[in-house]
């Protein structure tokens, strides 16, 4: 038959190969067995070659990994800004509809971002029968004020809408001085 690891294993298992010549798939295994017979490890050249290939792959992958992490943070920032702006718009819309109590002369925006995360009592403005009292409803616009992924803090730059002496949250932005992958500043988003 042939010499090699696969042959030794088949002899030890009590198997006898009846084919005079191995088939295609087995041929590669037999030639590998012949090559490895007598070898006990890898040479220094093989080890250095593998290490060089791995270091080149790592050198290519690290910048891509950094860009991927940064892109993920930017996506999170955009999502958080959109959620808070949608919450501000919903608060303003309900305030304009008279469902959220507001002071005279107020524009209808919340005074702080934390107001969006607190429950706000809504007035029911639908007409009811004379003997029925409206049930108070409460609504929360955000579960919590999100953490700015660029600064790692729950602090945001706030653009205020000034009406009389009161200042109301009109818009928000990041406090980060960093520049995005597209070249714009995070604070301008």
What value does the mean pLDDT of the chain take? 79
pTM, two decimals, is 0.62
Q: Per residue in 87-105, pLDDT tens?
A: 999 989 888 888 888 777 7
Q: Where do we find the tokens 């729950």? A: 154
Under DSSP, the state recorded for 179 is B
Alpha helices in 37-180 (DSSP H): 44-96, 114-117
């Amino acid at each position: 038959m042939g010499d090699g690891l696969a042959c030794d294993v088949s002899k030890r298992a009590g198997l006898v190969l009846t084919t005079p010549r191995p088939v295609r798939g087995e041929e590669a295994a037999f030639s590998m067995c012949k090559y490895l017979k007598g070898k006990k490890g890898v040479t220094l050249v093989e080890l250095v070659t593998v290490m060089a290939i791995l270091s080149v792959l790592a050198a290519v992958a690290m910048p891509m990994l950094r860009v991927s992490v940064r892109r993920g943070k930017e996506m999170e920032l955009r999502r958080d800004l959109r959620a808070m702006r949608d919450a501000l718009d919903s608060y303003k819309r309900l305030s304009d509809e008279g469902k959220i109590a507001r002071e005279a002369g107020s524009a209808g925006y919340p005074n702080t971002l934390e107001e969006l995360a607190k429950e706000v009592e809504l007035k029911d403005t639908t007409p009811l029968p004379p003997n029925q009292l409206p049930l108070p409803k409460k609504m929360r616009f955000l579960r919590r004020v999100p953490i700015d992924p660029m600064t790692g803090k729950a602090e945001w730059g706030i653009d205020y809408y000034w009406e009389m002496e009161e200042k109301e949250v009109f818009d928000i932005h990041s406090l980060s001085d960093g520049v995005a992958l597209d070249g714009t500043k995070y604070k301008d988003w």
